[in-house]
Structure 1
Amino acid sequence: MSSQRSEPTGLYGADADEPTQRRAFTGGAVPVAVYGLGKMGLPLAAVYAEVSGAVTGVDIDPEVARAVDAGECPVEGEPGLPGAVERLTADGSLSATTDAVGAAAEASVHVLIVPTLVSDDQPDLSALEAAVRSVGEGLDPGDTVVVESTVPPRTCRDRVTPWLEAESGLELGEFGLAFCPERTMSGRALEDIRGAHPKVVGGADEESARVAELIYGQVTDAEVYTVSDCTTAECVKVFEGLYRDVNIALANELATLAGEFGVDVPEAIEVANTQPFCDIHDPGPGVGGHCIPYYPYFVISEFESATPLLQTARHVNEYMPEYTVDRAAEALADRGRDLSDATAAVFGLAYRPGVDETRASPGVDIAELLADRAETVYAVDPVTTDSPPAGVERVSLADIGARELDLAVVATAHDEFESIPWTAFDDSVVLDGRRQLDADAIGHPLVRFGDGSGEN
């Protein structure tokens, strides 16, 4: 806990008019600390630094902090970020440290964007708690705390506020608190933060909301939506993920019925979506990434009321890798082959095309399942640097054409896969889980995900 407290020096409760406060923020007179310099945090710190010219980034990893402070970019796959970090550290707009309490003592605006993990279907807020308590130790009257991490609804009200008050000796009203969720995707973070989507802000009180709206009015070129309170803003972010999980589950369940329908389900979905009240997503072999597979548990595990729809959607989407492998085994059996004797290759371990991220990736799950059921399993991914699962051999894009395959499963639609000489695999079965390939170019059996009308 800080031993001394200063008079209000930040934006919260300031006497100056808003134009003067905006000039202070953009002129570097309002120091900012961004806690968490990961895939979302470092781009956010860079954009804040572009706008305010006075940002300290904080990370618990000494190597990350050292790299950023030296003008290096430890985050890969973000266009424009390496150049921005180099430029902003060189001109003094951005620095980095592992000293969270020291950074908090110097800053007037505190932006938290640390991960919320899920363990055994339970949200783990330990990283957020540690960061918040460090901020609390250095918190001064007039400071504003902004949480961008995705969290369960009521986190700011029931947890962040008490943590800050306990560590600082201050009460909400002496400092401000707002929830302003990140709305970014890997591979386009700078673009998203600067204004690809409207920014949502919700304050713990009216003054907190005013300050958050003022700040993000400068940070983003997009419209700023100010909602009733922090909890509403938390719900906005979580609801976005829940919608997608439930919608994809609908599409996936319909795809599993394709054989009984005797139709190409994605074709039916595409035409159904020409009606303006229908927006069914695309089916696929599963749902991955650090968002959609986890956000449902922010509601399922945190609240007492039953959530059968959310739980069913999770069950459907978590089942899809198993369904994909079963479908592949059936396709082999139709040609008189057994998966247990097969050599298989999984094309794509990343959860999304062009992104080096395998968290909760269906491609990884499919590879693991095949490793238990097939004789030999290869994995091909031109983007991700992660190792494949145990029992799976990684093969380069250049070398896979020389391997003899019985089965190829496309789990991720990397652009590079379109240039593979698929005809080299002769009579192997290709299961296109992302409907990426041109059936006419394959030259041998092709099973397209969701197609129950026969082979293409």
Structure 2
Amino acid sequence: MTNQYTGLYNSELPPEGQRQALRDGAVPVTVYGLGKMGLPLAAVYAKTTGNVVGVDIDADVVRMVNDGECHVAKEPGLPELVAEQAGRGALRATTDSVAAAKEGAIHVIIVPTPLTDDHEPDLAAFVAVLDSIAAGLAPGDMVVVECTVPPKTSSELVVPHLEAKSGISRTEFGVAFCPERTSSGRALQDITGSHPKIVGGVDTESTRVASLVYGEITSNEVIAVSDATTAESVKLFEGLYRDVNIALANELARIRDDLGIDVTEAIHAANTQPYCDIHAPGPGVGGHCIPWYPYFITSRVTTDTPLILTAREVNDSMPAFTADTLRTELSHAGRDIETATVAVLGVTYRPGVAETRATPAAGVIDRLTEHGATVLAVDPMLDDDVVASFGATPVSLADLSAHDLDAAVVVTPHEEFDDIDWAAFDDLVVIDGRGTLGDIGHRVYTIGAGPRNTEVRHHD
């Protein structure tokens, strides 16, 4: 298929005609990146427009999509939507990004932007996508950035890069930033209406086109902000708010023993006041969003940002605090961590998601190992080799009770852990990182809430 339409940017069609062309598939869409957020977005675009090509560097992902299969786990409704759209020819996939770019009139970029070891955003994959788009760019095309990038990326990188590489004047194509606001496990509902969609273009026409397009994608409000840099900042500010808020909760959790109260109880009570919304403490903050977004800001500004950096330090310190708390609780029970066998429950950064980037479990395992403990780890979402890569001995949930454990640390409360037979263990010391355990008949210290005085059970 070739680009059958000149595009929506500077279109001579009236707005309703543009919407109809979009819905009829006369405006081909190319989505670059078919990961856990890219595939749901491509599928929704396919359902809306009937004409989407997805691009991914992983040939297995491409094959699965073309076969109507879904490689993203635990995403309700997505397997069915992918099968439906691929089956009717509305969603296709390829590894040939240049060929896909030549087909597209709307180019949607949703590839990962990781951090380097020195906390610089790594835009290599992003720039590679821009190179492909430039090779196929045509007058009237619209480029939409959904993946999170540093402020001013759209105006200072995307536009001049595409103009220089394509030879097309910046007045002939549009660029807008429209942040992905999606959580794993609810991607389809988030894309199509859970939250207002933020759009901001590098010029007025880009903002108009982005607003029109996402008005067809979402049932919620489309909020057009002043420019692309504002839209980029909105996404980052959301993450910064959560990081700073969680840091406050974690710092309160760290002073729990000094105060001698259940800090989580106090937080819940404080949050009944409408101007207070303190988040929950825990063993750390993981994923490719919250731990990284602060550096997308700090790497691009010259003004000091002590609050942002301090919040990062607090949250980065929580895995060690969690392991150190276990050492203290074992000592209270008359045992040494140096001779203890400890099970870490959950290695992914959040329940039900097979993602380990910046997972707090890594720091917990490292600290426990430093203390001399023998560390086992259980995660039903991950293969053994992935678990082993964090320095722990992988153990299946079914085989956990066969091990003579002294302690356990709940880092990520997968729902599968609800089936653990805690009575099968003798006198465990347990650190509950997320406050998800009830009375399990063992000594439990909950981050933020403190020790729970339960009757310790022994089995024969």
Short-chain TM bin: over 0.9
Match of 1:72 among 69, 74, 77: 69
Residue 43 of structure 2: aligned partner: 46
Distance 1:84 1:10 in 2: 26
Within the alignment, does 1:169 sit opposite 2:167 as a pair?
yes
TM-score when scaled to structure 1?
Answer: 0.95
Q: Deviations over 1:187-212 (max 9, x none)?
A: 22112111111111001111111110
C-alpha distance 19-430 of structure 1, shift in aligned 2 (>3 A): same
Distance 1:7 1:40 in 2: 28
Q: Deviations over 1:323-379 (max 9, x none)?
A: 001000000111221111101001111111111111111123212322332342111
Distance 1:390 1:409 in 2: 15
Counterpart secondary structure, 1:16: coil
Residue 106 of structure 2: aligned partner: 109
Distance 2:330 2:270 in 1: 32
Q: Which moved more, 1:199-208 or 1:70-79?
A: 70-79
C-alpha distance 142-8 of structure 1, shift in aligned 2 (>3 A): farther
Within the alignment, does 1:395 sit opposite 2:392 as a pair?
no
| 2:444–2:451 Cα contact (<8 Å) kept | no
Q: Deviations over 1:381-428 (max 9, x none)?
A: 222333234541111112212221111111112222223121222211
Counterpart secondary structure, 2:13: coil
Structure 1 residue runs of 4+, over 3 Å off?
388-391, 452-456
| 2:377–2:387 Cα contact (<8 Å) kept | no
* Backbone CA RMSD of aligned residues: 1.6
Q: CA shift at 1:83, angstroms?
A: 2.0
Residue 416 of structure 1: aligned partner: 416
Residue 250 of structure 1: aligned partner: 248
| 1:286–1:320 Cα contact (<8 Å) kept | yes
Distance 2:391 2:358 in 1: 18
Distance 2:131 2:33 in 1: 14
Within the alignment, does 1:329 sit opposite 2:327 as a pair?
yes
Match of 1:360 among 358, 362, 367: 358
Match of 1:93 among 90, 94, 101: 90
Residue 179 of structure 2: aligned partner: 181
Match of 1:29 among 26, 30, 38: 26
Give runs of aligned pairs for residues 6-405 of structure 1, distance below 5 A. 9-120=6-117, 121-385=119-383, 386-405=386-405
Within the alignment, does 1:427 sit opposite 2:427 as a pair?
yes
Q: CA shift at 1:293, angstroms?
A: 0.5
Instruction: In structure 2, give the amino acid aligned to 1:434.
Output: R
Residue 3 of structure 1: aligned partner: none
Instruction: In structure 2, give the amino acid aligned to 1:237.
Output: K
TM-score when scaled to structure 2?
Answer: 0.95
Counterpart secondary structure, 1:202: strand
Q: Deviations over 1:193-246 (max 9, x none)?
A: 111111110011111111101100001111111101100000000000000000
Q: Which moved more, 1:180-189 or 1:280-289?
A: 180-189
Instruction: State the number of aligned residues.
Output: 449
Counterpart secondary structure, 2:161: helix
| 2:362–2:390 Cα contact (<8 Å) kept | no
Counterpart secondary structure, 1:442: coil
Counterpart secondary structure, 1:47: helix
Instruction: In structure 2, give the amino acid aligned to 1:428.
Output: L
| 1:447–1:455 Cα contact (<8 Å) kept | no
Instruction: In structure 2, give the amino acid aligned to 1:149.
Output: C
Distance 1:63 1:442 in 2: 43
Distance 1:407 1:74 in 2: 35
Distance 1:37 1:157 in 2: 25
Instruction: In structure 2, give the amino acid aligned to 1:251.
Output: A
C-alpha distance 312-390 of structure 1, shift in aligned 2 (>3 A): closer
C-alpha distance 209-357 of structure 1, shift in aligned 2 (>3 A): same
| 1:367–1:389 Cα contact (<8 Å) kept | no
Q: CA shift at 1:250, angstroms?
A: 0.4
Counterpart secondary structure, 2:147: coil
Q: Deviations over 1:64-95 (max 9, x none)?
A: 22222232222222222222222211211011
Distance 2:35 2:432 in 1: 33
Q: Which moved more, 1:179-188 or 1:241-250?
A: 179-188
Q: Which moved more, 1:199-208 or 1:64-73?
A: 64-73
Counterpart secondary structure, 2:115: strand
Tell me, which stretches of 5 or more residues in structure 2 are unaligned?
Answer: 455-460
Q: Which moved more, 1:425-434 or 1:68-77?
A: 68-77
Q: Which moved more, 1:312-321 or 1:358-367?
A: 358-367
Counterpart secondary structure, 1:436: coil
Instruction: In structure 2, give the amino acid aligned to 1:393.
Output: T
C-alpha distance 453-378 of structure 1, shift in aligned 2 (>3 A): closer
C-alpha distance 194-8 of structure 1, shift in aligned 2 (>3 A): closer
Q: Which moved more, 1:217-226 or 1:57-66?
A: 57-66
Instruction: In structure 2, give the amino acid aligned to 1:83.
Output: E
C-alpha distance 391-136 of structure 1, shift in aligned 2 (>3 A): closer
| 2:379–2:396 Cα contact (<8 Å) kept | yes
Distance 1:101 1:351 in 2: 34
